[in-house]
Amino acid sequence: MRFIKHQFLITIRIFLTQTDVIQDQYSIMIHRIQELDNFEDVQKVHQKFVNVVVELCFIKVAPLTECIMSMMNCCEAFCAIVGTDQSDQFDSIRQVNERHSWNLLSLTD
């Protein structure tokens, strides 16, 4: 059940990022680019697009990035032990992932 909650959290985050951030900013960028004739201006608009997306996705917020990276490391560790004799590590991975999930939820509230 916890896996489903984590999967839901990740799915919602990706969906919201795609629809609320990337698509909106992409539309703005395309609209501005269509009005330009100069390649340097196009580059500036694109760079602004990248900067805004990075900012709105909280990529540069250290605690959030660290938390997400730790959760991804837990997923990688879990995948590495599935189907092996190392099932005793499931509990430790689950505990770390659960702690980071709560941290992630508290950071995004």
pTM beyond cutoff 0.75: no
CA distance 28 to 3: 36
User: Could you tell me if 37 and 86 lie in one domain?
Assistant: no
User: Could you tell me if 56 and 73 lie in one domain?
Assistant: no
User: Could you tell me if 45 and 73 lie in one domain?
Assistant: no
Task: Write out the residue range of the structural domain in which residue 2 sits.
Answer: 1-60
User: Could you tell me if 82 and 101 lie in one domain?
Assistant: yes
pLDDT digits (tens, 9 = 90+) for 23-55: 999 999 999 999 999 999 999 999 999 999 888
CA distance 54 to 58: 6
Query: How many domains does the structure of the chain reveal?
Result: 2
User: Could you tell me if 46 and 94 lie in one domain?
Assistant: no
Q: What is the pLDDT of residue 102?
A: 67
